[in-house]
Amino acid sequence: MSGKKEKQMLEIKGLHASVEGTEILKGLDLEVGKGEVHAIMGPNGSGKSTLANVLAGREEYQVDSGTVKYNGLDLLELAADERACEGIFMAFQYPVSIPGISNAYFLRSALNALRRYRDESEIDAVDFLDLVRSKMELVGMDQKLLQRAVNDGFSGGEKKRNEILQMAVLEPKLAILDETDSGLDIDALRVVAEGVNVLRREDRTFIIVTHYQRLLDYIVPDRVHVLSGGRIVRSGDKDLALELEKEGYSWLEADDAKAGSGA
């Protein structure tokens, strides 16, 4: 199928990764096509966040072996900021604050870093303000947050919405949402999900890392993968998420045991 190759955006093969000497990912394989929305689910400690952070290039996460191809590039060769410039965006589970730096300044610096990387001219303050205002409307965010310091004193919901705003402005090719739903009440969850939905495009890929199914009520995935023990143990369509919601994750251990004894 030559068409499939054309559509391929991310190809992970045999990925082993560790944090502080403990192996977390143990031979993970995953393929994600352009414009698709994939959900990565799994119990706590299964390696979901590790996968997100490895893809984003966080230094504390050591890749021991395996390959990651992203749009034909060897992703593991790139530094975190280069990956961002190549269109990878991670919405953080715990966005950090940067006291004294306004959200607007931060976001313009980020956008201009990306533009410089692409040999485009930098955006000036006036054009930027127009752009960011339209994006704020798009994701339903209060304009007042623009002049406040980055995530400083933001509520949990505001922080997550700020991540979505950044995504809207930076227009990534691959967006990774690392447990963006955690700690959100149902209204905030809906706002975040709606923000993601308006940003869905056929040339934008999403990887949604989540523990719970409820986010997937609003963002309907093309594929759902279950991560357990550092590997993808099951993949399916959106119904798999519903099944997990009903059954929980305990069957995984039973499956593991079965796989162990059956081998």
Partner 1 sequence: MSEKDDLKELADREYEFGFVTDVESDSLPPGLDETTIQEISRLKCEPEWLLEFRLKAYRHWITMTDPSWAKVKRNTIDYQQIIYYSAPKAKKSIDSLDEVDPELLETFEKLGISLDEQKRLSGVAVDAVFDSVSVVTTFSDKLADLGIIFGSFSDAVNKHPELVRKYLGSVVPYTDNFFAALNAAVFSDGSFCYIPAGVQCPMELSTYFRINAAGTGQFERTLIVAEERSTVSYLEGCTAPMRDENQLHAAVVELVALEEATIKYSTIQNWYPGDSEGVGGIYNFVTKRGMCKGDRSKISWTQVETGSAVTWKYPSCVLLGDESVGEFYSVALTNNMQQADTGTKMVHIGKRTTSTIISKGISAGRGQNTYRGLVDVKKGAVGARNFSQCDSMLLGDRCGAHTFPYIEVRNPTAKVEHEATTSKIGEDQIFYCNQRGISTEDAVSMIVNGFCKEVFSELPMEFAVEAQKLLAVSLEGSVG
List contacts with partner 1 (CB under 8 A): 56-60, 79-81, 83-85, 89-90, 92, 95-96, 98-101, 106-107, 109-110, 113-114, 117, 149, 166, 170
Please, which residues bridge with residue 28 across strands? 15
204: phi then psi, degrees, rounded to nearest 5: -120, 125
As measured in angstroms, the least distance from the Cβ of 222 to partner 1 is: 25
Which one, 94 or 253, has the nearer CB to partner 1?
A: 94
Which one, 166 or 213, has the nearer CB to partner 1?
A: 166
As measured in angstroms, the least distance from the Cβ of 86 to partner 1 is: 9
Which one, 101 or 138, has the nearer CB to partner 1?
A: 101
As measured in angstroms, the least distance from the Cβ of 150 to partner 1 is: 8
Q: Please check whether residue 110 is in contact with residue 156, taking contact to mean a CB–CB distance below 8 angstroms.
A: no
Q: Please check whether residue 97 is in contact with residue 150, taking contact to mean a CB–CB distance below 8 angstroms.
A: yes
As measured in angstroms, the least distance from the Cβ of 231 to partner 1 is: 25
Count of Cβ atoms closer than 10 Å to residue 110 Cβ: 17
What is the distance, to the nearest Å, from the Cα of residue 78 to the centroid of all Cα atoms in its chain?
17
Which one, 42 or 61, has the nearer CB to partner 1?
A: 61
Q: In what order do the strands lie in the sheet with 174-178?
A: 88-91, 174-178, 205-210, 37-41, 223-228, 231-236
